[in-house]
Amino acid sequence: MNNSPLSDNPLLVPWTTPDGIPPFAQIRPEHFAPAYARAFADHDAEIAAITGRTDPPDFDNTIAALELSGRALTRVEHVFHLLVGAHSNEALLAVERGISPQIAGHWNRIRTNAALFRRIDALMRQADTLGLDAEQKRVLERYHTSFRRAGAALDEAAKKRLAEIIERLAALGTAFSQDVLADEQAFALPFSGESELAGVPEFMREAMKSDARQRGLEGHVVTLSRSSIEPFLQFARRRDLREKVFRAFITRGDNNGATDNKAIIAEIVALRAERARLLGYADFAQYRLDDAMAKTPAAVRSLLDTVWVRARNKELADRDALQALVQEEGGNFALAPWDWRYYADKLRKRLCDVDEAAVKPYLDLEAMIDAAFYTAQRLFGLRFTPRPDVPVWHPDVRVWEVRGGDGGEIGLFFGDYFARPSKQSGAWMTPLREQEKLAGDIRPLIVNVCNFAKAPDGEPTLLSFDEARTLFHEFGHALHGLLSAVTYPKISGTNVTTDFVELPSQLYEHWLEQPDMLRRFARHYRTGAPMPEDLLQRLLAARNFNAGFATVEYLASAYVDLGFHSIGTPGAIDSTAFENEALKNLGMPDEIVMRHRPPHFGHIFSGGGYAAAYYSYMWSEVLDADAFEAFEETGDIFDPATARRLRETIYAAGGARDPADAYKAFRGRLPSADALLRKRGLEAT
């Protein structure tokens, strides 16, 4: 540990960098432990000052004071979690292992503070007589709900046990994610000859060379990044190599060694169930959904069941078509999971006449970033200007200043697009600073992290259509943070229920798929020529090709997540047996595996942000499909009045309203699943 004075710690002194950006070049792993210790102590003192007041509680001396507390801790946490996810090293991971239970314990002590809850509860009971505006009432309600759900009203024995559970869950979630990262970092399958690369197109080969260089290797490698695995499975002719890569991918965290996560899963599931029981719920799913838009597990299962039947029927028909293709080519084997993408690509070429190798040259990363920015300009009047002067955590990271149509500053947007060994897999949005007005006009600093395979120096990075969709998805999350226009941090930006938070991101994907957008931005990276009209139309016509597969692999994950968390007393659960039994009961086709198998299902076990809530993507998809139809009904996908209403009620409003009320304010009603089924091409299945 660093023994230098705290005044030398860049996390504990004012930042004089442009726009108050963390001075990343000065921050080292050893700075975090003392910074956390100081921030915890400062926050404890602030809470003690609130609870030690002798005057009656009011909104300002309790709720607003809570909102103004813990600023130093929030600043440290934002930096730390960004680096651990996007540019980690063993020293940072060691800090994470030690600090995560302390963070969980600190917040639990605050949220179960009896004196603090008495003040909040007293305010809640007289909320209608305090003269609060709508936003203040919502903030008060969210504090009361979060403290109640944290166990603030429990007796001391129950609080003590709850604290033990929460700290243990934090340690387990950290161990889970680090095990998955270790497995991903440890795997790099090299290829030495043309026979092993047969079928792999040139753009994929260049990406494989880049992956090799990042790991100090020669030649070509496949890594366990999804952006590396999926195209290899799609193009590689060598069935034995596809199987080897696929098995490595689906057994992350499931290798019966030091990084095996099955025992961690069993303990997490049991502890979550115990936590729910302590709080008066039959199981964790009921606890989690009680404060979600869905409200009940029954409502979630109703949606999943509605889509599952149609998706499975579509997948089975596609499976038979793929098996026929195998036999047609002389293959004497049953279609296996590592074959699906390979033969689906062949079938797509035959039925839709779409070859991804022909599409990717028109989907240059730079053009897709421009397309995302253009959409934001047309919808919301935003302008993006590069800011090369801003400190970043890796040379690949880029920064843009965001301004509104009136020229006023909105915030800064950071794009960290490329895969590297120091980065966790997947794609996400995270804030470095959230918007608020309570402590001044605080502008947001919003980050998108992706894992696209970086092209060699001097060459453009080309995306698949799915990767371009991911870019738009995460930028939709970024806009949710950037456009936030509330007073209080508690309800700023993406601080909404999990099954509502995906609406702004999934809705934004729709603009990528519009013909006029592709005509404008899908241009050949060498010639600048637009995508040929016939190819564009074939690409759009093929959007729902393989929808059965994509929907089934997602739904299976959502069902298994909900199943794990619907057990009241799990005991010593065998996660593999549970997974197998759940999939058997669903009638899961043998040719598909879950999109996220439990041993690497970070959404629900790495901290649990989506625990009992992985269904949220589909719940939000019901909303986004219906919401985009609001634009289509006007005849203008950039209709100004609809865009203004969308900004005011969804993107700018954060958590200022109940999600159902927010959606009705935009659309005038709640949606049904019909728009979702139409979007996925499943309505007649």
The residues assigned a catalytic role are 474
Do 443 and 425 contact (CB within 8 A), yes or no?
A: no
Do 196 and 241 contact (CB within 8 A), yes or no?
A: yes
Q: How far apart are CA 26 and CA 102, in angstroms?
A: 24
Provide the CB-side half-sphere exposure for 432 (13 A, CA). 25
**467 vs 358, 591, 671, CA distance in Å?**
15, 24, 28
Secondary structure of residue 446 in the 3-state scheme: strand
Neighbouring C-beta atoms of residue 619, cutoff 10 Å: 26
| H or E element at residue 150 | helix 134-150
594-597: list long-range contacts, CB under 8 Å, 24+ apart.
594/553, 594/556, 594/557, 594/560, 595/553, 595/554, 595/556, 595/557, 596/557, 597/250, 597/254
Secondary structure of residue 200 in the 3-state scheme: coil
Q: How far apart are CA 255 and CA 226, in angstroms?
A: 19
Close Cβ partners of 635 (under 8 Å, ≥ 6 residues apart): none
Bridge partners for 151 per DSSP: none
Residue 415's region, left for phi above 0, alpha for psi from -120 to 50, else beta, is beta
Q: Which is it for the CA torsion 643, 372, 472, 432, positive or negative?
A: negative
Q: How far apart are CA 486 and CA 393, in angstroms?
A: 29
- DSSP collapsed to 3 states, 457-526: CCCCCECCHHHHHHHHHHHHHHHHHHCCCCCCHHHCCCCCCHHHHHHHHHHHHHHHCCHHHHHHHCECCC
Residue bearing tokens 């930028």: 475
Neighbouring C-beta atoms of residue 288, cutoff 10 Å: 23
Could you tell me the end-to-end alpha-carbon distance of the chain, in angstroms, rounded to an integer? 61
| H or E element at residue 383 | strand 383-386
Residue bearing tokens 């269904």: 615
Do 140 and 117 contact (CB within 8 A), yes or no?
A: no
Close Cβ partners of 11 (under 8 Å, ≥ 6 residues apart): 22, 27, 31, 32, 35, 75, 76, 79
**273 vs 166, 282, 373, CA distance in Å?**
12, 8, 44
Buried b (16+ CB within 10 A) or exposed e, 325-364: bbeeeeeeeebebbbbbbbbbbbbbeebebebbbbbbbbb
- Nearest in space to 1 (alpha carbons), one of 36, 29, 41: 29
Q: How far apart are CA 197 and CA 221, in angstroms?
A: 10
Neighbouring C-beta atoms of residue 10, cutoff 10 Å: 17
